[in-house]
A and B are shown apart, each in its own frame.
Chain A
């Protein structure tokens, strides 16, 4: 597609439930990132995928969080046993391999509310 697509745009879930957030990056972009943004906070790095390399999971806040990227394209971020502190906007971004000149292209995010 023309841009990075994320779904759903909004998700309200009950504490303890699992959620899946989807990201469809720009075709041809080999790098994919997940960040989360809490109100008034900067973007918090979660995980980075680059081509067929092992992902950089160093930003995942707990083992309740996991992500996969199938076929080098679509990515799913899964949060198990959601907690209220997981409420945030989850942003996905993609870039061509060398993002130095082009920056990242972000989706509009998924606003997750855990009640």
Chain B
């Protein structure tokens, strides 16, 4: 069956360190993969998109990698700040426009 897996355990890191979040998937052939941030009581906010033929994408302190052989994406936040504390969702887009979301990983950045 098709599955998207993100670490269900919260990730706790110290301010200034790099946070790395993992998204693994099975039985999908995504055309591209998106990462969203979600704060409590709010809808997800789009952060970054990476295509299947791209290995890496960067935006300011964010970096996303996409390994279609491992069926895995890594999401990095460098020089993390307490304001980066939120839940981060990965989402796969296959052919067409239906997007499948993971359950998300909560990130806590301690000052």
Contact = CB atoms under 8 A, between A and B. Distances in A.
B104 A93 contact: no
A104 B43 CA distance: 10
User: Chain B: interface secondary structure?
Assistant: strand
Contacts of A40: 8, 103
Given A100-B32, A100-B93, A42 B104 contact: yes
Contacts of B36: 103
Contact of A45 (B42, B98, B103): B98
Interface string B81-108: 0000000010101001111111110000
Given A43-B44, A93-B43, A100-B32, A35 B97 contact: no
Given A101-B49, A103-B46, A108 B101 contact: no
B30 to A, nearest CB: 11
Given A31-B97, A50-B97, A41 B103 contact: yes
Contacts of B44: 43, 91, 104, 106
Nearest to B46: A103
B42 A108 contact: yes
Contacts of B47: 103
Contacts of B4: 42
Interface centre among B43, B91, B100 (most CB of A within 10 A): B43
Interface in A36-87: 40-43, 45, 48, 50, 56, 58
Contacts, number: 57
A103 B108 CA distance: 25
Kindly state the interface size class of chain B when it binds its partner: 20 to 34
Nearest to B4: A42
B72 to A, nearest CB: 17
Contacts of A101: 49
Contacts of B32: 100
Contacts of B31: 100
The 5 closest A-B pairs by CB, nearest first: A103-B46, A106-B43, A43-B101, A42-B103, A42-B101
Interface of B: 4, 8, 31-32, 34, 36, 41-47, 49, 51, 89, 91, 93, 96-104
